Chains A and B, each alone.
Chain A
Amino acid sequence: MLAYLTLILLCQLIGEFTAGALNLPVPGPVIGMGLLFVILMIRGKVPDGLETTANGLLRALSLLFVPAGTGVILHLELLGAALVPLSAALIVSTLATIAVTAWLMMRLSREGDDG
């Protein structure tokens, strides 16, 4: 368990360093995810301990957004002042993005399967 948590943190740390050193516009953890993915491809399987550790983290994923989400408290005034444009844009744009992406993905994947 501890060994695999260390591996995950190492991937993140290397990701953060890479993002910083190369001035990449992508956050360190996303690069760390890519790095761990490459390690898994090379090893050819997911070790049991890593599976357990990762599942523990991922099961709590929703919880991890609560502190950042509570940050809405910092902008209540601004959100209230621009409530109509912001909420309309957020709702319509999010739904439009989901609709467009899912529709394309479904159409193109199906064609890929047929071919």
Chain B
Amino acid sequence: MDNLADTWVYLSVSPLLHLTITLVAFQGANWLFERAGRTPLLNPVMVAVLIVVGILLATGTDYATYFEGAQFVHFLLGPATVALAIPLYRQWHLVRRSALAIVVSLTTGSLTAMVSAVAIVWVLGGAPDLMVSIAPKSTTAPVAMGISEALGGLPSLTAVLVIVTGILGAMLGPILLNAMGITDWRARGFAIGTASHGIGTARALSVNETAGAFSGLAMGLNAFATALMLPVLWAGLSWAFVP
């Protein structure tokens, strides 16, 4: 019995436990996703996150302890982002032909993402620090957190809002695009990538390579667009919305 308890103590402080929990939760979420006919509503990132959060709350484990194990998975986000160069290269002939459409759609989409989020929080009576924390929600987390911090937001809240935005886009985006009758993979991928960065791109890539390439491109470009536009835009928005 002592041995078993010792083993548990050892395991619960070693990274293996939380790394394994992350992988098992994701496998379970993916199984459910496949069983349900790959409906975007059962997005595997969302289901896996709910499972892990449930386990951490039930066992009273704090996030820092969990992350010691999960960081090995998290680390691979960087190399995976670099690897998005490959679908982009493969689809380059399509990208080049859409250059004008890309610039106009990205700029307008990026502005829509920032202005609408701030305006809705303002209408519903949210505090200014919520407005600035939510403004960069559609861009990839490291960029969003940096901007949020520079403009006086809460970077860790921004990270959460970025993730939720990604999940919402991956879940609801395909349904909206179907309802709008948009079947062009370039437009579908580009829109999902602009609104919901890497999580949207993961979904797009799992459905169609053209969509994945355009989504990855949109994610990269929106990182630039948000970083360049938001500081200027926030000066105007805060003048309009912050009392």
Residues of chain A having any CB pair with chain B under 8 Å:
5, 8-9, 11-12, 15, 25-30, 32-37, 40-41, 46, 50-51, 53-55, 57-58, 60-75, 78-79, 82, 84-86, 88-110, 112-113
Q: B residues 69-111 with Cβ under 8 Å of A?
A: 70-71, 73-74, 76-90, 92, 97-98, 100-102, 104-106, 108-109
Question: Cβ of A72 and Cβ of B49 under 8 Å apart?
Answer: yes
Assuming the A-B contacts A25-B147, A71-B159, are A104 and B97 also in contact, with contact meaning beta carbons closer than 8 angstroms in the complex? no
Is the pair B120, A85 in contact by a Cβ cutoff of 8 Å?
yes
The residue on A at minimum CB distance from B134 is A89
Residue B153 at the chain A interface, CB threshold 8 Å:
no
Q: Which of B57, B80, B159 has the most CB of A within 10 A?
A: B80
Q: Is the CB of B198 within 8 A of A94?
A: no
B104 and A5 contact, CB distance less than 8 A: no
A96 to B120, CA, bound (A): 12
Interface residues of chain A: helix, strand, loop or mixed (majority) = helix
Q: Which of A62, A65, A82 contacts B130 (CB 8 A)?
A: A82
- Contact (Cβ within 8 A) B70 A66: yes
A40 close to B126 (CB less than 8 A): no
Q: Are A86 and B163 in contact (CB under 8 A)?
A: no
Contacts A40-B85, A97-B195, A105-B98: A65 and B187 contacting too (C-beta < 8 A)?
A: no
- Contact residues in A for B169 (Cβ distance below 8 Å): 94, 97-98
B36 is an interface residue with CB less than 8 A from chain A:
no
Known: A53-B83, A88-B120. 10 other contacts (CB 8 A): A12-B78, A25-B224, A60-B76, A64-B76, A70-B49, A85-B124, A89-B126, A94-B172, A100-B105, A102-B105
| Closest CB in chain B relative to A53 CB, distance in Å | 7
Contact of B71 with A90 in the complex, beta carbons under 8 Å: no
Using known A-B contacts A26-B143, A90-B117, A92-B116, determine if residue A68 contacts B79 with beta carbons closer than 8 Å. Answer: no
> Are the CB atoms of B79 and A62 closer together than 8 Å?
no
In the complex, are the beta carbons of A85 and B98 less than 8 A apart?
A: no
A75 and B223 contacting across the interface, CB-CB below 8 Å = no
In the assembled complex, the CB of B213 is this many whole angstroms from the nearest CB of chain A, namely: 11
- Residues on B with C-beta less than 8 A from A71 are 63, 156, 159-160, 163
